[in-house]
């Protein structure tokens, strides 16, 4: 096998926008059905395999480390819904989880015995049986009817996130004859369990219709269609299960419709007509709705509205410049608000008839969020907690005693001790003087400066909060520093943090990341830095490789959005029109076009020396199409110095990569061994 890289053929295609003509030599790679495209991707895979062949033993070692630290036969903490406790479990040697339930007996969740199913278990879905011999498998929807007698679930066997919806009688275990292909994620039952609501997508992979399906009939009714191509739609239930909710939203605007769940054939009513720039969400509590919105409140405020007049919003928690309200959950006797302040998440309780308060947590950096709270009437709040050194933990918070009750902490085998590791919060200074937070974790006693993996995302107001990773231990125990750059464009510091890293301020995301890398070196943390990011974080990787290639010993970009300008110029592609509120509209706005062209990674590759770069993608990805990294690597190889530049394509997977847990561990072992190799660690 040759160690010469594949040479992508050049088929020049000229495109002119706003008087600017560009030549794209690799546009032909967009054609997924072209045998030349598949041949090229296969040649790239073979070359990558050849160039990483020396890492085979290290890959296997890291895979075995991940596997040996993981309790392979395990089960989640059961969550109460109605007369049942619901949970999932895994079995050693099996790729996928198993969804189960047991009858409820009392208010306390059943005691967990590692490695053993709970007595009286009923299996709802066994992902291993459903997957069969398929190389890819994913569940998009799993929803039990309110009376607990039926299950709606959907499956995908290719990774293109187009699911087939089926229904199961949980009393007999039999599948019902109803089968609906081409559905999207999510769905909701009517109160009597006779009807299921679901959404479907258009040709641009945009969920735009909500359908009503009556079980056992051909009654398939479109109850809502969203014709504005900027908006996605979804359907769900309020926590009380009293109201069906259709949410239609763009990146900056929301419109919500509700319908009494007892009247599934009725008409959905609009809560408040859409108004550009106004976002809101809804939950139900007694005789009122709770509305979380950003009208005259950049960080959002919480309001109440009478059910009979849902557009009349009365403030309950007013706006604060230092606190971003993220979500609200209504319960019978209290309200729970999830918020963000000073770069950390928090939980606020509003008890009926008592003073509000916040739950405190012991570590200086952490992540906490409500989770698994299916019951409307309860005196306990289920929440999840983790940090850079504390494995994922499940707590019940007793609202009567204010006690945090640890129900389970993810087992880490092999003698892991959190006391052997340290976590820190650093602050870099960006080019414009903005202080950018960095979360850092390192094993105690590691001599610094040390090789560092710096991770970043920085888009869509998504926050990369401090989190624990079993796989990461393979880096830390080999003397690495791991850091997350909380750059603008994310949501770590509130809505303004996001707005300062989007549209025509997007470059702040990239310069922030470079500032974080330079700070880690200047502060004595880091010697060589490898950068990593995926999806929109892959755009970040491509941009910083162009901006400051000398700062990085390697760049790993997963399903990377590196052909951003060409994608956002094409309204026929998945997500493009929806994304104009995030990136701008270069098709109709010459200033946006010029701005995006100035940072889009594919357009800005030059002849300077670049660090080694590997792009990992999937052929069936519907979010960031495979051709983006394929074109990027071809141009790097043709124009830039340095490298090597590698492309690895999963030929049967989607945006999240391979679906089975063992397959995913092997993919992570591949990535980590490449990262280790960049700094000369070979064992």
Which SS3 state, helix, strand or coil, does residue 631 take? helix
- Does residue 621 have an active-site annotation? yes
Q: Which of 76, 248, 393, 535 is catalytic?
A: 535
Q: Which of 439, 465, 655, 673 is catalytic?
A: 655
Nearest-angstrom CA–CA distance, 615 and 317? 45
Beta strands in 318-434 (DSSP E): 323-330, 334-341, 344-351, 357-358, 367-370, 380-386, 393-398, 403-409, 421-429
Backbone φ and ψ for 255, nearest 5 degrees, come out as -140, 130
- CA dist 608 → 4, 5, 641, 664 (Å): 21, 19, 6, 34
- Does residue 655 have an active-site annotation? yes
* Nearest CA-CA partner of 207 in 220, 196, 222: 222
Nearest-angstrom CA–CA distance, 130 and 151? 15
Nearest-angstrom CA–CA distance, 264 and 192? 9
Backbone φ and ψ for 55, nearest 5 degrees, come out as -95, 5
Nearest-angstrom CA–CA distance, 336 and 327? 8
The tokens for 217 are 């009939």
Q: Which of 621, 627, 659, 673 is catalytic?
A: 621
- Does residue 535 have an active-site annotation? yes
Backbone φ and ψ for 629, nearest 5 degrees, come out as -65, -30
* Nearest CA-CA partner of 529 in 467, 480, 465, 470: 480
The tokens for 561 are 């959005």
Question: What's the distance, CA 658 to chain centroid?
Answer: 15
Nearest-angstrom CA–CA distance, 379 and 385? 19
Look-up of token digits 């919003």: 313
Residues serving a catalytic function are 535, 621, 655
């Amino acid at each position: 096998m040759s160690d010469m890289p594949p040479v992508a053929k050049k088929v020049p295609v000229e495109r002119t926008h706003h008087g600017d003509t560009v030549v794209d030599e690799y546009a032909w790679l967009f054609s997924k059905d072209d045998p030349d495209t598949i041949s090229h991707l296969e040649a790239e895979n073979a070359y990558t395999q050849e160039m990483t062949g020396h890492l085979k033993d290290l890959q296997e070692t890291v895979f075995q480390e991940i596997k040996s630290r993981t309790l392979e036969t395990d089960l989640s903490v059961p969550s109460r819904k109605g007369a049942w406790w619901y949970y999932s479990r895994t079995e050693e040697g099996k790729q996928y989880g198993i969804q189960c339930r047991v009858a409820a007996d009392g208010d306390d969740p059943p005691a967990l015995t590692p490695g053993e199913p709970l007595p009286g278990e009923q299996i709802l879905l066994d992902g291993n049986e459903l997957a069969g011999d398929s190389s890819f498998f994913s569940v998009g929807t799993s929803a039990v009817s309110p009376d607990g007698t039926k299950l709606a679930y959907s499956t995908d066997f290719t990774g293109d996130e187009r699911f087939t919806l089926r229904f199961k009688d949980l009393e007999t275990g039999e599948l019902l004859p109803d089968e609906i292909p081409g559905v999207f994620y999510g769905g909701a039952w009517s109160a009597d369990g006779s009807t299921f609501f679901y959404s479907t997508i258009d040709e641009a992979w945009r969920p735009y219709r909500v359908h009503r399906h009556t079980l056992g009939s051909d009654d398939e009714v479109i109850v809502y269609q969203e014709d504005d191509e900027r908006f996605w739609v979804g359907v769900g239930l309020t926590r009380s299960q009293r109201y069906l909710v259709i949410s239609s939203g763009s990146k900056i605007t929301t419109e919500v419709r509700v319908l009494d769940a007892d009247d599934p054939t009725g008409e959905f009513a609009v809560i408040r007509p859409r108004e550009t720039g106004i976002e809101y969400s809804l939950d139900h509590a007694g005789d009122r709705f709770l509305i979380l919105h950003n009208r005259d409140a950049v960080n959002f405020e919480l309001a109440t509205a009478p059910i009979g007049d849902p557009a009349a919003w009365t403030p309950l928690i007013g706006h604060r410049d230092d606190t971003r309200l993220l979500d609200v959950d209504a319960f019978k006797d209290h309200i729970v608000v999830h918020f963000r302040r000073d770069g950390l998440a928090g939980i606020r309780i509003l008890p009926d008839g008592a003073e509000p308060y916040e739950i405190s947590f012991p570590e200086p950096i952490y992540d906490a969020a409500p989770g698994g709270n299916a019951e409307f009437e309860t005196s306990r709040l289920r929440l999840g907690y983790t940090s850079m050194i504390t494995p994922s933990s499940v707590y019940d918070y007793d609202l009567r005693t204010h006690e945090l009750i640890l129900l389970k902490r993810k087992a880490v085998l092999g003698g892991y001790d959190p006391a052997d590791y340290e976590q820190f919060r650093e602050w870099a200074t960006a080019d414009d003087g903005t202080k950018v937070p960095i979360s850092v974790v390192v094993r105690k006693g590691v001599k610094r400066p040390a090789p560092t993996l710096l991770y970043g995302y920085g888009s869509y107001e998504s926050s990369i909060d401090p989190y624990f990773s079993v796989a990461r231990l393979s880096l830390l125990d080999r003397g690495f520093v791991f850091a997350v750059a909380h750059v603008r464009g994310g949501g770590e510091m509130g809505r303004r943090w996001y707005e300062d890293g989007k549209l025509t301020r997007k470059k702040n995301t990239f310069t922030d990341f470079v500032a974080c890398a330079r700070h880690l070196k200047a502060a004595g943390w880091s010697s060589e830095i490898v950068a990593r990011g995926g999806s929109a974080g892959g755009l970040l990787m491509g941009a910083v490789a162009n901006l400051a290639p000398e700062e990085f010993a390697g760049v790993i970009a997963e399903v990377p959005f590196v052909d951003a300008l060409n994608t956002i110029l094409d309204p026929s592609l998945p997500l493009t029109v929806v994304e104009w509120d995030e990136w701008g509209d270069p098709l109709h706005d010459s200033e946006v076009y010029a701005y995006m062209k100035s940072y889009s990674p594919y357009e800005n590759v030059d002849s300077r020396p670049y660090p080694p770069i590997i792009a990992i993608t999937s052929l069936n990805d519907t979010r960031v199409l495979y051709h983006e990294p394929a074109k990027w690597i071809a141009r790097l190889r043709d124009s830039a110095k340095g490298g090597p530049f590698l492309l690895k394509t999963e030929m049967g997977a989607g945006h999240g990569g391979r679906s089975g847990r063992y397959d995913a561990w092997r993919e992570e072992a591949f990535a980590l061994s490449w990262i280790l190799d960049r700094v000369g660690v070979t064992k």
